[in-house]
Amino acid sequence: MKEKAQQVIGTCLGLILVPVLIGVGMSLQEKHDEKYPWRGTFYINDSINDDNDELKTVDECRAWANEKAEKMDLEEGEWDYECGRGCEYSDDSIEGGKQIKTYNCVEITK
């Protein structure tokens, strides 16, 4: 009988805890997006090399992309980038053995 009561209590706690944790996670993501509204994507030869979702301004995004190209000693034309604002995750797929996350953005610029 004691085991059954523990099982019922555990199930109830689980049913309460899961939505609470999801809500906390969503709240943290919203705060992150408010603080860092820009997302940068860096491409080498038309393939995504890196993403950065901790950019406060479009100028910071541009600087990040240029620094990345300099550190990798890439020439003009070997790399490209995009800066997006208000981006929301829309799809996840595998391309060429790499995980590709797709985002829909309110604004995309360079």
Q: How far, in Å, are 2, 23, 24, 40 from residue 11 at the CA level?
A: 14, 19, 20, 42
Same domain, 58 and 99: yes
Residues 80 and 95 in one domain: yes
Residue 99 pLDDT: 64
State whether 2 and 20 are in the same domain: yes
The backbone torsions φ and ψ at residue 79, rounded to the nearest 5 degrees and listed phi first, read: -140, 165
Please report the pLDDT score of residue 49 as a whole number.
86
Question: Does residue 42 share a domain with residue 14?
Answer: no
Tokens of 7: 């099982």
Residue 88: HSE in the Cβ half-sphere, 13 Å Cα cutoff: 4
Q: Give the torsion sign (CA, 66, 92, 85, 45).
A: positive
Domain region containing 24: 1-35
- Tell me the per-residue pLDDT of 31-59, one tens digit each, with 9 for 90 and over: 556 668 899 999 998 777 888 989 999 99
CB 39 within 8 Å of CB 52: yes
Q: Are residues 8 and 58 in the same domain?
A: no
* pLDDT for residue 98: 67
pLDDT means per 10 residues, the chain with 110 residues, are 72 62 52 75 85 92 95 91 86 66 83
Global pTM value: 0.64
